[in-house]
Structure 1
Amino acid sequence: MALFMNEKDMNEMLAGICPEGETYQGKAWGTLMSGTAEMLALGALSNVSCYVGVTEKTLVIAVLETFDISHIYGKILLPFDRLDEVKIQKGLMPSQRIIKVKSGKTKIKLSLVNNTITAKIKDQKQGMRVICEALEHLKH
């Protein structure tokens, strides 16, 4: 059982759910905030750790199990062309970004932080930047 989110698990899990024919432009770890319908549908009542990736066409989220972060509990794939709304804001911490995405009835609130306390991911800062930049271009 993994104690920390890590590069190896992130790469393996995201590779397993990458849309066919696409490649990741950026990857990072994050937290899906509770309260979204998707989180409740997955049975999560609190914030849940996740690995996030953006391909040329899709926002990909591997939702991790609450008590064993070495396993995927669920996956969320949101094609860019189906996103109705994208908001990116700074969070409470200087290195935090809050991403709100809406696609039809699907609403997701995601927190990305450049923080190494709970994750051993060396390119977190660059991954966050690439994800935010890819989504910035989609803002309506």
Structure 2
Amino acid sequence: NSGLERFTITTKGSPTNPTGVRMGRKKIAIERLQNETHRKETFRKRRNGVMKKAMELSLLTGCDVVLLVFDTDGRLFQYSSQSDMPQLLKKYLKQNPDEVLTNRDYDDSYGAEKKSGARRKPSMEDLERRCLWCLPD
């Protein structure tokens, strides 16, 4: 024996997760949270996530993105892929945006799907209707 110990490298576990068991994210029902503290904390976390996704969408695809969010207290949170947000908003208004998706649209589209347990393949018309960034220049 040369005095060297034999080491085994394992990929199971880490200093922060010694058992190596992974916890998946729990699915939550998409409905209004009743606890105000939880609701505000969820808003804060998800708002940051939505802002990050808006930025990534713009950086990856080169598209123009404007995101406006008002919290329940009326505070405004905004993101614009360009420094001239008013110019992007003028571009939006020129498109004559008659159709706006609402929470009811979500309920109508995905609520029935959830109840039936079946997902239908969306038609091209469905996709175009929901694709807000697909508006022509």
Going by fraction, where is helix more abundant, 1 or 2? Answer: 2
Higher radius of gyration, 1 or 2: 2
Decide: shared fold, TM above 0.5: no
TM-score by length of 2: 0.23
TM-score by length of 1: 0.23
